[in-house]
Amino acid sequence: MKWFSRKKEQYAVRIACDPDGVSVFGASGEIHRIVWAEIERVLAYKKDCFGYDQIQVTLIGSSKTVSLTEEEAGFTEFVTDLPQYLPPVPREWYVALVASPAFDATIHTLYQRS
């Protein structure tokens, strides 16, 4: 099963926030970076994974889109940091999304640049 563990490690992901933006890292280093000032819209939703829901967030910028999932390392910190860096985002957004009905496909707009 060496091939399986190597393949899984290749896609290992970690999220990191800083005052300038969000970075997504894979096993080989930074894969994606989006700066806060570039973000035009933030969507949060539950994805039906056949037996469980996965919380996902999509950051839509002027030149790129970055999607994050709750299974990635650093997601908990991202949940805390998001309202700090994009103040219109409500602090309790994650709790409200988790509390919504199971397998609810509703997309929540957390941020929309005006």
Q: What is the mean pLDDT of the chain?
A: 84
**List of domains in the chain:** 2-112 (2.30.29)
- Its pTM stands at 0.82
Burial of 38 (0-12, 13-18, 19+ CB in 10 A): middle
Tallying the residues shown for the chain, one arrives at 114
Condensed to tens digits (0 to 9), the pLDDT of residues 47-93 reads: 766 776 788 999 999 999 999 998 899 999 999 999 999 999 999 98
Instruction: With CA atoms as reference, report the closest residue to 72 among 61, 59, 56, 96.
Output: 56
83: Cβ–Cβ under 8 A, 6 or more apart, which residues? Answer: 89, 90, 91, 93
